[in-house]
Amino acid sequence: QFRIGALQDYEYEKAWGNPKASEWAEMYMQNGYIVDPMPTLKYTKEENRKIQKINSQLNMAVKEMNQKWILGAVDFNKTYDEFLKRLNEIGLQEAIEINQKAYDRFVGSSN
C-alpha cells in the first residue's frame, strides 16, 4: 500500500480519499505498474568507497540541473546531452557496474 501512496490500509483511505486518486491507484495495480522496491545492496569496502563518492556527485549534479530546468534558467532540450555527458564523466557507468555486481551477489545469495 505504501507504494501507491496509502499511509494506512488502502481500503480505509479509499473510503475518504479523492476518487481520482483511487481511480489512478486501481489503474496502477491493474496494469502492473507497482513493482517491488530494489533490495538493500551490500557492497565490498572498495565498492562502498567508490559508490558513495560517485553517488554524492551524481545527486548534486541531478539536483542542480533539475532546479535549472524547473525554473527555466536553461533549456532542457539544449542542455540534456551535455547533462548526460557530465553524469558519465562523474562516473555513472561505473556506478551502474558496481550496483549490478552487488545486485548479482544479492540474487545469487537468495537462490
Shared-domain flag, residues 33 and 53: no
Alpha carbons 72 and 59: distance in angstroms, whole number? 20
At 63-74, the pLDDT tens digits run: 999 999 999 999
Model pTM score: 0.66
Per the structure, the count of domains in the chain is 2
43: its cell numbers:
557492497
Q: What's the whole-number mean pLDDT along residues 71-92? A: 97
What backbone torsions phi and psi does residue 17 show, to the nearest 5 degrees?
-80, 175
User: Is there a single domain that holds both residue 53 and residue 72?
Assistant: yes
Residues 30 and 59 in one domain: no
Judge contact between 42 and 105, C-beta under 8 A. Answer: yes
Q: What is the mean pLDDT of the chain?
A: 87
Same domain, residue pair 6 and 57: no
Q: Are 49 and 91 contained in the same domain?
A: yes
Q: Within 13 A of 44's CA, how many CA atoms are on the CB side?
A: 6
The reported pLDDT for the residue numbered 24 is 79
State the DSSP code for 45: H
Range 2-24 average pLDDT: 69
